[in-house]
């Protein structure tokens, strides 16, 4: 079965920044699962995955424009620590370089702490991978038809998917 719109795709990936060591490897856990054609995956990756099948392995290099966009200048903001997402309500010692999440109109967003104070942090609102050329080593693990419900919702249900 080939990957096209409304197929549920399971894959493993290794992500590295071009010229650097591997930064992320999904093989430590379950495969990543997404519904093809519903913007659940980086556009450049989806384009590369189209037409592939289970067992296929390939490498795709995405320039920033096809990945997380260019880095924007003047993107450092000072915000109150209470606006950082902290599900466990734990006491966290924020440090420069730490990745945190803030709530935005478009949902939670990963940002990087540039400077930490007692009650505020300076965050860089660029995506941590903005401005970077990314190399993905992909292994397609499984391709299946999505259920009508999954297509209607625009995401995968069941194991590794949404539970609701």
Nearer to Zn ion, 67 or 156 (CB): 156
Q: Which residue is nearest to Zn ion (CB)?
A: 153
Binding range to Zn ion, per CB under 5 A, among 13-21, 51-59, 75-83, 148-156: 148-156
Nearer to Zn ion, 60 or 151 (CB): 151
Q: How far is CA 111 from the centre of its chain?
A: 13
Q: How many residues bind Zn ion (CB under 5 A)?
A: 2
Nearer to Zn ion, 115 or 153 (CB): 153
User: Beta strands 99-104 and 107-116: pairing type?
Assistant: antiparallel
Question: Per this entry, what is the length of the chain?
Answer: 164
Distance in Å from the first CA to the final CA of the chain: 28
| Backbone CA torsion sign across 11, 12, 17, 18 | negative
Binding range to Zn ion, per CB under 5 A, among 15-23, 26-34, 46-54, 151-159: 151-159
Tell me how far, at minimum, the Cβ of 153 lies from Zn ion, in Å.
3
Binding range to Zn ion, per CB under 5 A, among 10-18, 35-43, 80-88, 147-155: 147-155
Options 153, 156, 159, 160; binder of Zn ion; rule CB under 5 A:
153
CA distance 114 to 119: 14
- Compute the 3-state secondary structure of the chain and give helix, strand, coil in percent, each to the nearest 5: 15, 40, 45
Residues that bind Zn ion (CB under 5 A): 153, 162
């Amino acid at each position: 079965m080939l990957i096209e719109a409304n197929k549920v795709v399971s894959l493993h990936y290794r992500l590295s920044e071009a010229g650097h060591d591997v930064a992320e490897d999904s093989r430590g856990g379950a495969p990543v699962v997404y519904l093809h054609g519903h913007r659940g995956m980086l556009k450049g990756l989806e384009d590369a995955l189209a037409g592939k099948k289970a067992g296929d392995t390939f490498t795709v290099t995405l320039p920033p424009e096809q990945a997380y966009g260019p880095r924007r200048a003047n993107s450092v903001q000072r915000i109150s620590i209470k606006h950082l997402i902290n599900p466990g309500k734990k006491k966290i010692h924020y440090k420069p370089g730490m990745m945190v999440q803030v709530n935005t109109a478009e949902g939670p967003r990963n940002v990087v702490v540039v400077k930490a104070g007692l009650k505020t942090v300076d965050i860089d609102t660029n995506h941590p991978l903005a401005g970077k050329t990314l190399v993905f080593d992909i292994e397609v693990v499984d391709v299946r038809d999505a259920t009508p419900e999954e297509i209607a919702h625009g995401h995968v249900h069941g194991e590794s998917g949404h539970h609701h």
